[in-house]
Amino acid sequence: MATFSEHLRARSDPELVDLLARRPDLANPSPSTIASLAARAGSRVSLERALTGVDASVLQVLESVVALGGDHAGGAVPAADVARAVGATGDGTARTGVEDAVTEATALALLWGDDAGLHPSPGLADVLGPYPAGLGPVVDDVPDDLAPLLAEAPPAARSVLDALTWGPPVGRRPAADAVEARRAVEWLLTRGLLARADTAHVVLPRRVGLALRDGRTHAHPETHCPHPTGTVHPETTVEAESAGAAQEIVRLVAALVHLWERTPPNVLRSGGLGVRELRRAAGALETDEGLAALVVEVAGAAGFVVDDGEDPPAFSPTVDVDAWWDTDLAARWAVLAGAWLATPRTPWVVGGRDERGELRAALDPELARPWAPRLRRAVLEILAAREPGTALTADDVLTVLRWRAPRSVPPPAAVEAILREAGHLGVLGAGALSRAGRALLEPDAGDAAAAMAAALPEPVDDVLLQGDLTGIVPGRPTPALAALLDRATRVESRGAALTVRFTAQSVEEALDSGQSADELLAELAAHARGPLPQPLEYLVRDTARRHGRLRVGSAGGYVRVEDPTLLAGLVEDPALAELGLVRLAPTVLAAQVGPAALLAALRARGLAPAAERPDGQVVLARPLVRRVPGRGRRRRGAIAGAGGPAEAPVTTTAATQRLRSLVPALRRAEALQQSGAAPGAPGAAGTPDPVAALATLREAVADGREVWLEIVGPDGAPQRRRVRPVRVDGGRVRAVDSARDAELTVAVHRIAAVTPIDPEDAPS
């Protein structure tokens, strides 16, 4: 009978290349021989990775092969038995699904077949756990004919069996006062229908469980991906809601940048954004903290806000924002949506507590998760596979994800958050994937921008001004109109129409930008439907008359004297021009420089000034010694996913070429290793490579074969034992030495070499 290593050797070069491409961990780092490849393919870590990506149909087939005896020495399961055990006997489509699953599992080297049937790869049974498909362990003293015993089982005993039939197969023994239940369990134990797991538990043997299931390992065949119907919305509704959300997210990011370019928030010592700063941003954006956290994270992922590295550090807008503002709305949305799709950030956990009980902050470097981009794409691809306009709930999406990868189901909260965030970004509309969202999944981001441009309504360049100092924009304002309204108004409501209000404060801010009253009124008239309302004109002109009566400036220092003649000529002196002296009163000058620079310049001119405190007291000229509080080393670095050039991935062509050249190298190394001595012969070199040695031991366990073990004893002296390995687990090998009629347990690190023995060789 062939072994797993021999099965891999028998594969063609294209089949091995396909295996290495689909299980990249097998080729990184490159194995030395095919035996090493087999050992790595049977390791727990590699098997766990491979099982993470298989769907429910493949997992059912693997569990059935192991449960039906494929995990025993020399065990093989015919493919027809697997189909019957899964429950795919009557339905031709289901049988085809099982055949496809067997083909997929074989291609991944999780199964391998010969004339006897299907075998699991070494180590697969351990990874699947002690109860594959919810069936109990193999027990030797189970009666051969179970049907009569099951037929005569008392009702109480039968209820115990029914409770354990579909798993879990372990139950707690009844308490002492439950006389009838204990009598039923004892009846089952004495007849071999139950087995004792320990003093407090019983277990249903595998053969009994299969008999109760009528030979089935699974109640229902999972041969095809489920297809939830969801709710279908008109495409016009989907596109309208998508466009509205896209406009809003672009506006919120722009508003955040405007807010932080004036007052950048400080960076916490841990590298994140403080809770107070997040609340401040939420108040300025007029949103809740959850949406504000999403806006902050999207801006960070797009590279629009970063840690400026100053002392103290703050989150400041970058120069990339200016180029972003120069594009149209659809292109701006595409940048934000693309950054959200690709970022490893998890905004939905902001505000929660971590394992240490500390609050998770926005922009914290610890919020990066490498699986987040894959999960976002997987969720959107499920929606993309439906008819346009189909909306799915989080439970619907989880149903599909559970079938696609039953051993790596994402947290329900993460799926719900991704659907919610996609709705906020306009990737979804009414819960369904929009045209722009479908285009976002394609490599060309320009297609997504074009799709969003088609969904956006035409911009409106006029505003309906009313006598109550409000204005209504019936649609999306043009950039020029939006800029005017941002300067001169306050937003009262948003929706299908934008409602704004003119106030004295908003008009003052427009005048602060450099416009005069006439210029502001002329610009409003250019966008107004009809003449300007008289109350609005009065408001603008009255505000302009009051504007600027009080003047506020900045000064770094001042000069004060009792005799005005001492200041004569100082303001006009060219040598003192860099001081920025301004006469405020006959006896007072203001300067743009600080007191120290002012003192030095006046003393250089031949004057004898003295420094004074705000209360007029003279300051003694003692040297100043500066001290700063000590602080620990602060973690720095760019925010994960915050734009910038990414590491260039290895091209598919280059990776495939590497694998194609690796396979012949493995075959050559295998041939060189086997040319040293015939396998199984005394004195053969065997497999000193630890990886290959483990592979040989696992194959010997699976096939019930004997091997030569080269063991290094505690004193360093080598021993050579002919044994039959029984189990390889936890860094130890349990084997039976038939010559000494004893069981042997050896630590793996004490094994120097393993040499297979042909079953026909007589014991020596």
Query: Domains plus CATH for the chain?
Result: 147-212 (1.10.10), 231-455 (no CATH), 464-546 (no CATH), 676-756 (2.30.30.100)
Write down the pLDDT at residue 652: 63
- pLDDT score of 205 more than 70: yes
The structure tokens listed for 334 are 């595409």
For 417, half-sphere exposure in the C-beta direction (CA atoms, 13 angstrom radius) is 18
Write down the pLDDT at residue 674: 65
- pLDDT score of 300 more than 90: yes
Q: What are phi and psi of 76, to 5 degrees?
A: -145, 145
Average of per-residue pLDDT across 50-74: 86
Write down the pLDDT at residue 675: 65
Write down the pLDDT at residue 641: 36
Write down the pLDDT at residue 681: 39
**Confidence category of residue 623, pLDDT binned at 50, 70, 90:** very low
Please list, in sequence order, all residues whose beta carbon lies within 8 angstroms of the beta carbon of residue 321, skipping any fewer than 6 positions away: 257, 304
Highest average pLDDT, of 406-420, 455-469, 724-738, comes from 406-420
pLDDT digits (tens, 9 = 90+) for 438-486: 999 987 667 999 999 999 988 888 899 988 999 898 888 888 888 888 8
Residue type for 467, please? G
Highest average pLDDT, of 89-98, 158-167, 546-555, comes from 158-167
- Report how far residue 477's alpha carbon sits from residue 463's, in angstroms, rounded to the nearest whole number: 9
Q: What is 328-395 written as a DSSP string?
A: -HHHHHHHHHHHHHH--B-GGGTTSB-TTSPBP-TT-GGGB-TTHHHHHHHHHHHHHTSPTTEE--HH
- Report how far residue 401's alpha carbon sits from residue 387's, in angstroms, rounded to the nearest whole number: 18
- pLDDT score of 168 more than 80: yes
Highest average pLDDT, of 296-305, 519-528, 594-603, 749-758, comes from 296-305
pLDDT digits (tens, 9 = 90+) for 222-275: 888 999 999 999 999 999 999 999 999 999 999 999 999 888 999 998 889 999
Write down the pLDDT at residue 649: 37
pLDDT digits (tens, 9 = 90+) for 130-166: 899 999 998 888 888 898 888 899 999 999 999 999 9
- pLDDT score of 624 more than 60: no
User: How are strands ordered across the β-sheet holding 464-465?
Assistant: 464-465, 470-473, 498-501, 490-493
**Confidence category of residue 18, pLDDT binned at 50, 70, 90:** very high
Say what percent of the chain tops pLDDT 90. Answer: 40
Least confident of 20-29, 355-364, 570-579, 728-737: 728-737
- pLDDT score of 21 more than 70: yes
Neighbour tally for 641: CB within 10 Å? 22
More confident position, 753 or 91 = 753
Eight-class DSSP state of 409: P
Residue type for 738, please? S
Average of per-residue pLDDT across 313-331: 90
- Report how far residue 341's alpha carbon sits from residue 456's, in angstroms, rounded to the nearest whole number: 21
Residue 616, Cβ density class (10 Å: 0-12 exposed, 13-18 middle, ≥19 buried): exposed
- pLDDT score of 648 more than 50: no
Please list, in sequence order, all residues whose beta carbon lies within 8 angstroms of the beta carbon of residue 749, skipping any fewer than 6 positions away: 731
**Confidence category of residue 645, pLDDT binned at 50, 70, 90:** very low
- pLDDT score of 536 more than 80: yes
- Report how far residue 327's alpha carbon sits from residue 302's, in angstroms, rounded to the nearest whole number: 15
More confident position, 354 or 425 = 425
In 160-291, DSSP assigns E strands to 170-172, 195-196, 201-203, 231-232
Single out the residue of 345, 359, 347 nearest to residue 275, CA to CA.
359
pLDDT, mean over the chain: 85
